[in-house]
């Protein structure tokens, strides 16, 4: 596409194409971006019928999402070591009282 006539031809065929919601013609880059519910091959064939050189172009990879900001490192508070608590001490087993008798 090198002139407004070329743009007009592509504009006409895409404007009539069923399923095309919108399109953008970039004459400088010689690219047409089509959005809608339509098969890419159908768009390719339709634009080719205008007599213009037609090919698919690779879409630039989307920019990677920014990494989430890391929160400032908080100093780790050291807690005093907890001494394990023994279970409640069991009372000493009661032994029967011994009776000591002197004879």
- Domains of the chain, CATH where assigned: 4-48 (3.30.70.100)
Mean predicted confidence (pLDDT) in 65-69: 62
Q: Which residue has the higher pLDDT, 18 or 58?
A: 18
Q: What is the pLDDT confidence band of residue 82, given thresholds at 50, 70 and 90?
A: low
Q: Which residue has the higher pLDDT, 50 or 67?
A: 50
Quote the CA–CA distance of 20 and 38 in Å, as a whole number. Answer: 6
């Amino acid at each position: 596409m090198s002139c407004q006539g070329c743009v007009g031809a592509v504009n006409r065929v895409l404007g009539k194409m069923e399923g095309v919601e919108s399109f953008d013609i970039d004459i400088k880059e010689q690219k047409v971006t089509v959005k809608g519910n339509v098969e890419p091959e159908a768009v390719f064939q339709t634009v080719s019928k205008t007599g213009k050189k037609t090919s698919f172009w690779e879409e630039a990879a989307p920019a990677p999402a920014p990494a989430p900001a890391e929160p400032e490192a908080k100093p780790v508070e050291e807690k005093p070591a907890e001494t394990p608590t023994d279970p409640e001490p069991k009372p000493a087993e009661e032994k029967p009282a011994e009776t000591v008798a002197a004879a």
